[in-house]
């Protein structure tokens, strides 16, 4: 078991297939920066995820996914209540609001 301060705690290993030219360029970039290919890939992924967080269409799709999850959970609660005669807890049918910047405009 990993110690809480272990830098590898929670790390997942992923095999990625790269074209030879891409690998060579990535290795050169890492070498010139004094880093590793893994560090360069992690930096690229961090930038990609940060850009995805600002993508309005992706945020809207995430809101839709949350609403689907809430509807599915409500249906399951109702099924359990019907099966065992319990009263399901009251839930809101409105999906949780996502934190958006004021410049994002209205959610659709």
8 A C-beta contact, residue 33 and residue 42: no
**d(C-alpha 10, C-alpha 65), whole Å:** 25
- pLDDT value at residue 4: 62
Assess contact for 56 and 45: CB atoms under 8 A.
Answer: no
Q: Cβ(89)–Cβ(77) under 8 Å?
A: yes
Q: What are 37-82's pLDDT values in tens digits?
A: 999 999 999 999 999 999 889 989 999 999 999 999 999 999 999 9
Q: How confident is the model at residue 102 (pLDDT cuts 50, 70, 90)?
A: very low
The alpha carbon of 21 is separated from its chain's Cα centroid by a whole number of angstroms, namely: 30
* Predicted local confidence at residue 6, as pLDDT: 74
Q: Which value, in Å, is the radius of gyration of the alpha carbons in the chain?
A: 22
**What is the model's pLDDT at position 68?**
96
């Amino acid at each position: 078991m990993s110690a809480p301060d272990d830098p590898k705690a929670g790390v997942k290993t992923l095999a990625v297939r790269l074209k030879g030219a891409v690998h060579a360029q990535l290795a050169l970039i890492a070498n010139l920066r004094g880093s590793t290919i893994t560090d360069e890939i992690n930096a690229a992924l961090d930038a990609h995820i940060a850009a995805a967080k600002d993508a309005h269409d992706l945020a809207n799709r995430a809101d839709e996914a949350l609403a689907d999850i809430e509807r599915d959970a409500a249906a399951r609660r109702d099924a359990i209540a019907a099966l065992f005669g319990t009263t399901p807890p009251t839930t809101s049918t409105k999906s949780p609001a996502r934190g958006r910047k004021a410049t994002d405009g209205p959610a659709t």
